[in-house]
Amino acid sequence: MNNHPANNAHTGHNGSSGIKNHSLGEDWPVRTVCIGSADRRVATCFGVELHSADLAGHRKNVDLLRRAECITDAIFAARADGEGYSAWINRDDDPEYGWIVGCVGNESKFDADGRNYNAVFADVVGKLEFLDGVTSAARPVCIGSWICDGELYVDICVCHDNFDDALHWGKANDQLAIYSIHEGIDYPL
């Protein structure tokens, strides 16, 4: 196996003639695989397949899978340390102040000690697809993870800059707690 950088493999097809080319990306090992033809393009990674009919859609799908890989890797690194993680979707920098509140109906649970990378990855892909287009939202939005009672939770969260608003939204969304970014603690509800 090569020891040079590669993050994704790209396989091009020309009609039914089979593989036309193969190129390696930025970081090794190969993780995201893209298969393409003139009328159908598929980006696949860890069992998730995203289909598109044109090159622009294909590039968007590859970028989404790459982003999902980065987020899932960070969730698992935080999990190994017994910590949570927040991937901010509509901000370049992490907020330094505020309270994070999960959104009802977007929470997923996994065994915190399980070998479940593919399932978490697929969940993150689904959340990113759901959040497509929130870049202009006024409040910071993230995909967050946390651990409680042997379960790894992954959910979509919103950051509130007012404690009373965060408490209200936390209760309205049936949350167990809200997280204070600037204090680094949970407030049970």
Please say whether the beta carbons of 104 and 174 come within 8 A.
yes
- Domain assignment of residue 1, yes or no: no
Query: How much is the mean pLDDT over the chain?
Result: 80
| Lowest mean per-residue pLDDT among 1-15, 54-68, 109-123 | 1-15
Task: Decide which of 74 and 25 is more confident.
Answer: 74
Residue at a domain's end among 27, 48, 77: 77
Three-state DSSP class for 80? helix
Task: Decide which of 14 and 40 is more confident.
Answer: 40
Q: Tell whether 124 and 166 lie within a shared domain.
A: yes
Q: What's the domain range around 31?
A: 8-77
Q: Tell whether 141 and 181 lie within a shared domain.
A: yes
pLDDT of 120? 96
What residues have CB less than 8 Å from 66, skipping those under 6 apart? 7, 8, 32
Write down the pTM of the prediction: 0.79
- Domain assignment of residue 3, yes or no: no
**How, if at all, do strands 99-102 and 177-180 pair?**
antiparallel
Residue type, 167: L
Residue at a domain's end among 19, 47, 77: 77
Residue at a domain's end among 77, 112, 135: 77
- Domain assignment of residue 2, yes or no: no
